[in-house]
Amino acid sequence: MKITILIILSLIFLGSSCKDSTRPQPADCNLGFLPCEDDIEECCEVICQETYHTCGEFLTECCLEITSHNFSWEIDTIGSYGSFLRDVTIVDENNIWVVGNIETVEGEYNAAHWDGVEWELLGIYSNTLDLWSIHYISEDDIWVTDYCSPIHWDGNEWSLYHIQNMGLNACVGNDIWGTSSSNIYFVGVEGSIVHYDGTNFSKLYSGTDIQLNEIDGTTNGEYVFVAGRNDSGESIALMIHDNEVTTLYEGENTLSEPYGGIKSVSVLNDTAFFASNQVLWNYNYIDSNSRTIIRHDEFSMLGSVYRMKTEKINDISIMSNGAEYIHFNGQSWFVDSTILNQFGVNNVYGYSIDHNNNMVAISGYCCGGGHAIVARGYR
């Protein structure tokens, strides 16, 4: 029997009464007595947490707010043949960074900056060095990577750290995450994880040789999560706490039970969200509980889930490798094919996605490698 996504989400996020301890509770609700609707005075005034609102017949429940699916898109092509953009980060709507490789008749670049009006092409460290990822901490504290090595901007200059020359057998260009330049992580090929404490780089033992593609963590930096996947279909989900790495899940192929092939991770509050083609898996690192949202039938048009960003529990953005945008608004999923439709099937590829408040950005390439692309979605 098919279970619709609405029913699943209702069970996961909403609950059914004041007695449901998994939901935000009224201020002085006496949980030992009757449900709110049977004795409203016992439940008092309902105070709902952010992203929830009062609902129900007697306004004694907390229901998830619904965000809008409706984004309007502006799609820019950058560079000529051989150009691509591997990563994008939104600081605000007038401060967006992308990195990769940009070929032009004037020369070669590896980054671009959006100031709200136009894209400025940049050469970071060396114009001919392809860049793979970027992590923006502040105007004077920016990290990028080439295929293997971290590169840092301190407000005055870019510095390349050859970690292999420091004795670290690691190649960590795939992704970056951290709370500051004294607590920052890099992940890459063959299970490589490197941590920088502001003075020294150290390699963490991951226990795997699976390629690690994406990393994200809690705002206080205490818990960090990693998603990895090989081309063969092997995938893994890791947790880092006190610089110790724990394997949460490992799958042999895209159909491995129960989560399939892990593609992406995004952290929100006390939960790590892992995305695969089959499910959205929510792992609560405080109580170690897992919840799963089964892939909905409308996802069947997607080639493959690629990257994800969780802005809020009711505002989740997923990108397919065909640059389709998939949005969860707290109640339903919506697939936006605006970018795909502009360039055509098999003619556009999405590398990265970022979501910041009411703005989404997707980077990649199109047109048989003829251009890099950046799509900016506004709501």
Domain co-membership, 56 together with 88: no
User: Which is higher by pLDDT, 25 or 159?
Assistant: 159
Domain co-membership, 50 together with 173: no
Write b or e for each residue in 135-171: b if 16 or more Cβ atoms lie within 10 A of its Cβ, otherwise e: bbbeeebbbbbbebbbbbbeeeeeebbebeeeebebb
Render pLDDT for 70-119 as a digit per residue (tens, 0 to 9).
999 999 999 999 999 999 999 999 999 999 999 999 999 999 999 999 99
For 26, 92, 362, the CA distances from 115, given in Å and listed in that order, are 44, 9, 16
DSSP 3-state of 2: coil
Domain co-membership, 57 together with 117: no
Residue 59 pLDDT > 80: no
Residue 340 pLDDT > 50: yes
Which has the minimum average pLDDT: 40-44, 53-57, 184-188? Answer: 40-44
Residue 19 pLDDT > 50: no
DSSP 3-state of 241: strand
Written as six digits, the tokens of 229 are: 């996947």
What pLDDT was estimated at residue 301? 47
Q: What's 156's domain CATH number? A: 2.130.10.10
31 Cβ contact list (under 8 Å, min separation 6): 18, 19, 21, 25
Tell me the mean pLDDT in the region 164-174.
Answer: 97
Short-list 83, 200, 208, CA closest to 150: 200
Residue 223 pLDDT > 90: yes
Instruction: Give rounded-to-5 percent helix, strand, coil for the chain.
Output: 10, 45, 40
Domain co-membership, 281 together with 261: yes
Domain co-membership, 58 together with 128: no
Tell me the mean pLDDT in the region 210-228.
Answer: 97
Number of domains in the chain: 2
Percent of the chain with pLDDT over 70: 85
Range among 57-61, 131-135, 328-332 with highest mean pLDDT value: 131-135
Tell me the mean pLDDT in the region 327-331.
Answer: 88
Domain co-membership, 174 together with 39: no
Tell me the mean pLDDT in the region 175-190.
Answer: 97
Domain co-membership, 30 together with 123: no
Write b or e for each residue in 368-378: b if 16 or more Cβ atoms lie within 10 A of its Cβ, otherwise e: eeebbbbbbbe
Render pLDDT for 260-308 as a digit per residue (tens, 0 to 9).
899 999 999 999 999 987 788 999 999 999 998 776 555 544 557 889 9
Domain co-membership, 109 together with 214: yes
User: Which is higher by pLDDT, 8 or 234?
Assistant: 234
d(CA 184, CA 201): 10
What pLDDT was estimated at residue 39? 52
Domain co-membership, 83 together with 166: yes
User: Which is higher by pLDDT, 261 or 42?
Assistant: 261
Domain that holds residue 150: 72-378
User: Which is higher by pLDDT, 34 or 259?
Assistant: 259
Residue 349 pLDDT > 90: yes
Which has the minimum average pLDDT: 135-149, 182-196, 267-281, 364-378? Answer: 267-281
User: Which is higher by pLDDT, 16 or 172?
Assistant: 172
Which has the minimum average pLDDT: 63-67, 345-349, 362-366? Answer: 63-67
Residue 7 pLDDT > 50: no
- Where does the pLDDT of residue 53 fall: very low under 50, low under 70, confident under 90, or very high at 90 and above? confident
Domain co-membership, 40 together with 142: no
Domain co-membership, 49 together with 76: no
Tell me the whole-structure pTM to 2 decimals: 0.86
The edge-to-edge listing of strands for the beta sheet with 315-320 is 305-312, 315-320, 325-328, 333-336
Written as six digits, the tokens of 185 are: 């992580």
What pLDDT was estimated at residue 29? 43
Spatial contact of 93 and 360, defined as CB atoms under 8 Å apart: no
d(CA 137, CA 183): 11
What pLDDT was estimated at residue 4? 36
What pLDDT was estimated at residue 256? 86
Rounded to the nearest integer, the mean pLDDT of the chain is 87
Domain termination site, one of 17, 35, 64: 64
Domain co-membership, 274 together with 132: yes
Which has the minimum average pLDDT: 38-42, 124-128, 232-236, 318-322? Answer: 38-42
